[in-house]
Amino acid sequence: MSLLLNHPEVLKKARAEIEASVGKSRLVTAEDVPGFTYLRCIINETLRLYPPVPLLLPHQSTADSKVGGYHVPKDTMIMVNAYAVHRDPTMWENPDEFRPERFEDGKAEGLLLIPFGMGRRKCPGEAMALRVVGLILAALIQCFDWDQVDGVQVDMTEGLGTSFSAPKAVPFEAICKPREL
């Protein structure tokens, strides 16, 4: 919601997608969510910029190998920084910008998006998390009008967390009011 409030044109486009599919006569359901392609782009872009766990669970090399020109001996513990991978300018154009359109029409196909990890250590709750986030976000967009407090952009500064979290430095505040359906 923070990113949507800072990018009202994206919020407007997501609302239009939801209304075109569901209309105003009923509430969005879990069955509707897979059809919201732009909403999925918003979620992917948000997870790219702010992965739930910036440092993935440790992996261990099973053989001597080379990674990025560096020798990695067998049995080396490897920590993957998903936050850095998702903001790598060699992989992502304008990596610090919030642009959900980068995921439209499979444009980001082949780029490394790993907010839930990868391989055998991948989060088993990824599918459930994406479904729940999609449904909740769609319902928040459909049911409420959102606005910034005093017209001020939502502060996206990250505070001090643990190696497994990166909380916002300033808590989220917004103005919302129920929409007429």
Structure confidence by residue, pLDDT tens digits, 81-98: 999 999 999 999 999 999
Q: Is the residue at 100 inside a domain?
A: yes
Q: Is the residue at 10 inside a domain?
A: yes
Q: Is the residue at 68 inside a domain?
A: no
Q: Is the residue at 157 inside a domain?
A: yes
Q: Is the residue at 66 inside a domain?
A: no
Q: DSSP character for 72? A: E
Q: CA-to-CA distance for 180 and 108, rounded, in angstroms?
A: 36
The yes-or-no verdict on residue 68 having pLDDT over 70 is yes
Tokens encoding 181: 């359906």
Domain count, the chain: 1
Q: Is the residue at 169 inside a domain?
A: yes
**In this predicted model, what pLDDT tens digit does every residue of 44-62 receive, in sequence order?**
999 999 998 888 888 889 9
Q: Give CA angle at 150 (149, 156), nearest 5°.
A: 50
Q: Is the residue at 33 inside a domain?
A: yes
Angstrom CA distances, 116 to 8, 48, 80, 119, stand at 27, 10, 11, 10
The string over 49-68, giving b where at least 16 C-beta atoms fall within 10 Å of a residue's C-beta and e elsewhere, is bbbbbbbbeebeeeeeeeee
pLDDT category of residue 170 using cuts at 50, 70 and 90: very high
**What are the φ and ψ backbone dihedral angles of 81, each rounded to 5 degrees?**
-95, 95
pTM: 0.91
CATH of the domain at 12: 1.10.630.10
Range of the domain at 38: 2-54+82-178
Q: Is the residue at 123 inside a domain?
A: yes
Run of H or E residues at 70: strand 70-72
User: Cβ distance 21 to 45 under 8 Å?
Assistant: no
pLDDT of residue 162: 64
Task: Name the residue with tokens 């090399």.
Answer: 61
